[in-house]
Amino acid sequence: MYLELQDLSVRYLASRPLAVDSVSFGLRAGEIGVLIGPSGCGKTTLLRAIAGLEATHAGKISLGGVTVSGEGNALPPEHRQMGMVFQDYALFPHMDVSKNIAFGIHSLPAGERQARVQDVLRLVGLAEHAHRYPHELSGGQQQRVALARALAPQPKLLLLDEPFSNLDVDLRERLAQELRTILKAAGATALFVTHDQLEAFAIGDLIGVMHQGQLHQWADAYTLYHRPATRFVADFIGHGVFTAARVELHDENGVTHKHVVTPLGELHGIHQHEQDRLSLGPCDILLRADDIVHDDASEVQARIVNKAFRGNEFLYTLELRTGETVMAHVPSHHDHRIGEWIGIRPEVDHVVTFASETPKG
């Protein structure tokens, strides 16, 4: 691995729990990793520890085969060859765009420096704005200058801490796509911190979900969504509800399969690799809004207790006769009233279960 963390821990105070608790993951050269998790889970601390701005308590960080922290050694930040972009753009207001970018590469000969400034400005799509001052740029443009400035010295690793959090939602989504394109064009290896899932999915090759200092899972977006390693990841990524269920054996033409009995009906046809992971007996099954289909012909009826309009669909919160609550995405031409009963059935492509915890009714 190009960037590798092994059992990295950071502690601010002896009396407090670890802010980063034995975190391990790796990134290959040119990959973009994203750390995501709720406020206070340790994302920023982890990023700062990688940059060398926070002392580590245990573990090892290596970059490009060099140990930058660990084994009794800690390279100072300026020797780690990492670039950082923060949420406040921190551009120098009295310098124009090209001078802001040239600032970090002043050791290069003048000709080379100018060429490099032009290169990164082209990369971030601001070649026309080289002589504007920061206050003459929009927030999104300023953040692209900050990115160009961080890329100019060709860092071995680029660290980005919520760089879009001061920008409005529409712009953030567009910039997230742009950022990925720019980083890939630059061939940069990067680690990005956010608490926004859509941003994480738009940017990351690999995404790490953190909670209370621990890394619960480090995987691609598809795996996080369909094979969450822990309940926390299942809950945090793509919101769902857990419902008490039972895994049972089912005989079909002499072949025995596992199926799951849920309050919404039985789930058959479970993929073999998922069957292998299911243990017989009680469990909690994750049911996401996408797993529940509105079907007038279904015997299972649920009462609409809440609904939210989402443009092309409604997100209905539904209560079953048994008292459980589930969510369902329903096309918005099915506009039912709150209190109305509708037919639903489960259509679960990826069965996700955890050990039983939900109280039995």
x-marked contacts with ligand ATP along 187-226 as a string, rule CB under 6 A: --------x-------------------------------
Site for ligand ATP (CB under 6 A): which residue of 42, 163, 228, 263? 42
* Shortest Å, Cβ 13 to ligand ATP: 6
* Shortest Å, Cβ 181 to ligand ATP: 25
| Closer residue to ligand ATP (CB): 37 or 134 | 37
Contact yes or no for 329/289 (Cβ under 8 A): yes
* Shortest Å, Cβ 208 to ligand ATP: 12
Type of residue numbered 328:
A
Does the footprint of ligand ATP cover residue 40 (CB under 6 A)?
yes
* Shortest Å, Cβ 11 to ligand ATP: 9
DSSP code at position 311: S
Site for ligand ATP (CB under 6 A): which residue of 27, 41, 318, 328? 41
DSSP code at position 198: H
- Please list the alpha-helical segments (H only) found in 89-194: 97-102, 110-123, 139-151, 169-186
Helix axes 139-151, 169-186, angle to 10 degrees: 20
CA pair distance 331, 305, nearest whole angstrom? 17
| Closer residue to ligand ATP (CB): 63 or 210 | 210
* Shortest Å, Cβ 295 to ligand ATP: 40
Contact yes or no for 306/316 (Cβ under 8 A): yes
| Closer residue to ligand ATP (CB): 44 or 197 | 44
Q: Angle CA(267)–CA(227)–CA(248) in degrees, nearest 5?
A: 30
Site for ligand ATP (CB under 6 A): which residue of 33, 34, 43, 52? 43
Q: For residue 31, report the phi and psi dihedrals to the nearest 5 degrees.
A: -90, 155
| Closer residue to ligand ATP (CB): 39 or 256 | 39
In 3D space, the residue among 300, 336, 298, 333 whose CA is nearest the CA of residue 317 turns out to be 336
How many separate helices (H) and strands (E) can be counted in the chain?
9, 21
x-marked contacts with ligand ATP along 10-39 as a string, rule CB under 6 A: --x------x-----------------x-x
Q: Which residues bind ligand ATP (CB under 6 A)?
A: 12, 19, 37, 39-45, 195
